A and B are shown apart, each in its own frame.
Chain A
Amino acid sequence: MTNPNNVSLNISHELAFIDSHALNIPTYRVLNEQGGVSEGATVPEIDQATALKIYDTMRFIRALDERMQAAQRQGRVSFYMQCLGEEAAVTASAAALDDNDMIMAQYREQAALRYRGFTLEQFMNQMFSNEKDLGKGRQMPIHYGSNELNYMTISSPLGTQIPQASGYAYGQKIKHINKQSGELDSEIDNITICYFGEGAASEGDFHAGLNMAAVHKAPVIFFARNNGYAISTPAEEQFAGDGIASRGVGYGIKTIRVDGGDALAVYAATKTAREHATKTGEPVLIESLAYRLGAHSTSDDPSGYRSKDEEASYRENCPVARFRTWLVAQGWLDEQEDEKVKEQVREQILDALKVAEKVAKPPLEDLISDVYNTPIPSLQAQYEQLKSHIKKYPDAYPITAGRIK
């Protein structure tokens, strides 16, 4: 073994430490904060239909977030999380993927799911944990998932999806590996994108997942949403290095930092990252910078830890307005028509909410199904016992008492 330590072989006689911010990582940007094309930037190739679908998704998510935040305040749903300020980062990255690529999100990426085609009714059924929810009413609101749309069901524990994304992507690669040479013998058709926040990047699973993807060459795009806050903890109390991007270099992963408020920059970066992953089978790290304009969740109140002035300064830099300005300048979006659609979307959301909240809760059998592929004997016995108990005291269990077979 000529290089047992697996490092750059580069002897120096100068005693010098490397500065923690030595990389001075730049932020890739196409659109300026007003929505015009930045001087010196090249507009990436994007067709009108894709651009409008990105905008349509952002417009929908903004309306959904606004409506559901209010619904939580009215006590109609227990919990909600807005994407406010990060719509471009999530939507444009999802738009750069193939529909069969797996999305493993953290929880604030409803826009990616919407881009894939999750219907308004499906969103509502999940949030009201009714019997039509694909997740059978088992998880808190916003824990969406859809096998059909290749969107892995959300898990509350932070960062657990990161090593899983490495494993999933490795699985996507296996059939493209030549058995004799062990090298890729064809372009990988589908990859995985993995979203997480800068706070989750402090979890051990982040280290485990990125290191394994790098070592085993898994075609996964790690998309770090550095939005400045983990609930109340600002990024400066989360890490001391140069953001999350600097770590990618340490793991041996191709890395880029991008302006997360700029849909075109995010789209171009993710598209290029995907090409790299499909051609080489290697992971890519994208760090997106966008400010979390809303609260962490409906259980959080940011006024306790950040100023109104700070929020206001970022509100001016709205990612949706920025992209909208560009679309209008392109002649691809009519402003009056846009206002009309916004109003229609709001109405549709309110109507769908009213329908979903009246749909029945899941049946009692969904309490025990899916723990295993089939209930084990002890659980089946517990279920029979529970049914007898409910039949004996039906008034205490109004949701299920009338429906027990």
Chain B
Amino acid sequence: MDLAYSPRQQAFRQEVREWLAAHAPAERLVTLERKDGFDQHVAWERELASGNWGMVTWPTEYGGRGLDLIEWLIFEEEYWAAGAPLRANQNGIFLLGPTIMEFGSDEQKTRFLPPMARGEVIWAQAWSEPGAGSDMAAIKTTARRDGDHYVINGQKTWSSRASFADWGFGLFRTEEGSQRHKGLSFLLFDLNAPGITRRPIRQLHGDPGFAELFFDDVRVPVGNRIAGEGEGWKVAMATAGFERGLMLRSPGRFQATAARLVALLREAGDNASPGLREEVVRLWMGAQAYAYNTYQVAARIMAGGSIGAEASLNKIFWSELDRAMHRAAMHLLGPAAELQTLPDGRANEWLEGYIFSLSGPIYAGSNEIQRNITAERLLGLPRVGAG
């Protein structure tokens, strides 16, 4: 165990800090759940890419810097401390990118990864269907083989970023009559392909962050399939692991929220009840614990280990921590909590954040599913009702 950053890591931190100080937007961007805000966030992705900061852990030939997970954590810490924007590119760089890296062919890596790192192609997820939410193996949307193409028919829903994104990835039933997790394949598709209709869904906050996707004889080249035909479930489970696991939510984000929450508590002064005070201190402790845990997992992965069902513990922890931090802020704000713009003229980021935090325990596999996974795969409790 060595809890000191090396001189190289310290120099890297300094480099990140200086670049962000010079380049991060001074003004808060419009929410990326709206077209104008989405465009602002994509512009920021391209600014990041211009400094070669798109995804620092990727190999240089794909647009990364070839750095390790500790350096990624340092980058993320500086990123969130600088108050830099949310990542429009998140589905690509944190979920699909690692999936292509693990399962894609060399041709697919060359074709898809560099434009992803440059923020030129923004990716949407397409997992859920009207009848397949938590029970993802109930997917019905078909991709029928026709020569060197698949022909997709069906419907996806809750597709994150799909209102404005360029490409999508998801699971489709490529074997006719197949059941459950068999006969599925992992396909990449152009969201502007003929036969795709996007219907934006107005979310809780009023903006159209995700969308329904309707597929009507959409032709997708076989070369857009990741891994073998029928191997989609295995690939999707790996993607879900990235999502729940290390990459999607780096601790820096929650530590930044915790620090802002402590500042809000100080502003509230004696108005904060002792219970709320203790809650804020507990939440700061939680953010620290999440960071320590992530550093442990990162060190384990760097030493050749992997993250398995433990990713479910992570997902439960950060999503409920995030919700609790924003809830505490709502209580601290008191009557101002309901205002979209605070009396001092600032946007009420806590309200926006609280609404967003309510989605955390639902997406990427609901926390009920994560608790099942924890109980069955980590604790060894029996499965009932699922064979």
Chains A and B belong together in one complex: no
Interface residues of A (CB under 8 A from B): none
